[in-house]
Amino acid sequence: MTDTRIEKLAHILIRHSLRIKKNDLFVISGSHLATPLIREVYRQAVVAGAHPYTHIGIDGLAEMYYKYSSNTQLKYMSPIDKFEIEHIDARLSIISPENTRNLTGVDPKKQAISSAAHRRIMEIFLNRAAKKELRWCVTQYPTQASAQDAEMSLQEYETFVFNAAHVDAKDPIAYWKSVGKQQEKIKQLLETKKKIHVLATDTDLTVSVAGRKWFNCYGRENFPDGEVFTGPVENSAEGFIRYTFPISYGGREVDDVQLWFKNGAVVKAAASKGEKFLQSMLATDPGARRLGEFAFGTNYGVKKYTKNTLFDEKIGGTIHLAVGSGYPETGSKNKSSLHWDMMCDLRRKGEVYADDEQIYRNGRFIDL
């Protein structure tokens, strides 16, 4: 018997997030642990008249690949992967790890080489998404590994995930549309600004957003959601920032990240844990040292840090900046095989100025 919460989550993903329609070529990916959600999404996609297929991950394969692969293999770009990203209409990625630290022992240089090899696929994906030719969404299925990272029992984490998704709302899709209406005020404010200046503990960073578009996120590309983002002008970042929470990428955790920017590029980077990996990823390609995204987290229902970027970057009262590729629809021209979101908590002594006028204090927009 399917958990009714899973049925409701699948309904939101199919009807709201991805807007699956007849004849869509639709790929669903996740680990075997997400089988209940994969099965239900697949069923509803078939009912909608789409052509769904699946990629089911098996834990340990990525670790095995990095351990035994040669440089030639690491630099290989699969024509099948390229063909897929050129032809699918929709993609759902379900975060469902069996072990969130499975790549901790991998040589970071190997990960960087592999990441660089997939840059072309990343560019195709971003360009098709910007042209509305490809719909995509990332969501979470509760697993023991994610629950342990969040310091919760599996049952507590399930409740956390489904509550954040508001699956028990009278009309969940109407709820997420109402979130979009509320956040539209933030988007409209930011679209009138040219310069953003962030002040917080060990943080004094300025970026230009002149001529860039802001996007209101209410459950389409990420689910659950709650952010307003843009792509900063590539050569504009000046100053320094200290990220509040540990961050993960490619199965590796990095803690207490500090970045210093000049003329838009990272000129110095430090971390108390995982610094070697951080440096390797920043050296992936020239675009990896520049900002591709600047965003405000707006979901005040997500209050607890869980070591999961999908939720952590949405925490109301935080900002997140991604080094690496930007989203072309924002006007960003930064290209990279990397896109790494890093979170900064502004709920205590955080300030944001836009064109030298304070618009944000202690995790809240002023007068909105």
What pLDDT digit, counting tens, does each position of 49-83 carry?
A: 999 999 999 999 999 999 999 999 999 999 999 99
**pLDDT-based confidence at 250, cuts 50/70/90?**
confident
Query: Residue 2 pLDDT > 80, yes or no?
Result: no
204 DSSP β-pair partners: 199, 240
- Segment 326-336 shows an average pLDDT of 96
The DSSP 8-state label assigned to residue 315 in this structure reads B
Q: What average pLDDT does the structure give for the chain?
A: 96
Distance CA 182, CA 191 (A): 15
Using pLDDT thresholds of 50, 70 and 90, give the confidence band for residue 272.
very high
Summarised one tens digit per residue, pLDDT across range 99-121 is: 998 888 899 999 999 999 999 99
Residue-wise pLDDT tens digits, 5-23:
999 999 999 999 999 999 9
Q: How far apart are CA 156 and CA 18, in angstroms?
A: 27
Global pTM reads 0.91
Measure the CA angle with vertex 29, ends 28 and 33; round to 5°.
Answer: 120
pLDDT at position 340 over 80: yes
How many Cα atoms within 13 Å fall on the side-chain side of residue 94?
Answer: 30
Q: What was the pLDDT predicted at 202?
A: 96
> Could you give the domains of the chain?
4-165 (3.40.1830.10), 182-365 (no CATH)
Between strands 357-361 and 351-354, the pairing is antiparallel
Q: Quick one: pLDDT at residue 114?
A: 94
* Helix 108-117 and helix 119-130, axial crossing angle in degrees, nearest 10: 50
Q: Answer whether residue 289 shows pLDDT above 90.
A: yes
pLDDT at 1 over 70: no
Q: What whole-number distance in Å separates Cα of residue 107 and Cα of residue 314?
A: 30
Number of residues that this document lists for the chain: 368
Q: Rounded mean pLDDT of 72-98? A: 97
Structure tokens at 308: 């999961």
Q: Quote the CA–CA distance of 43 and 10 in Å, as a whole number.
A: 9
Given this model, what pLDDT does residue 206 score?
98
User: Is residue 150 very low, low, confident or very high in pLDDT (cuts 50, 70, 90)?
Assistant: very high
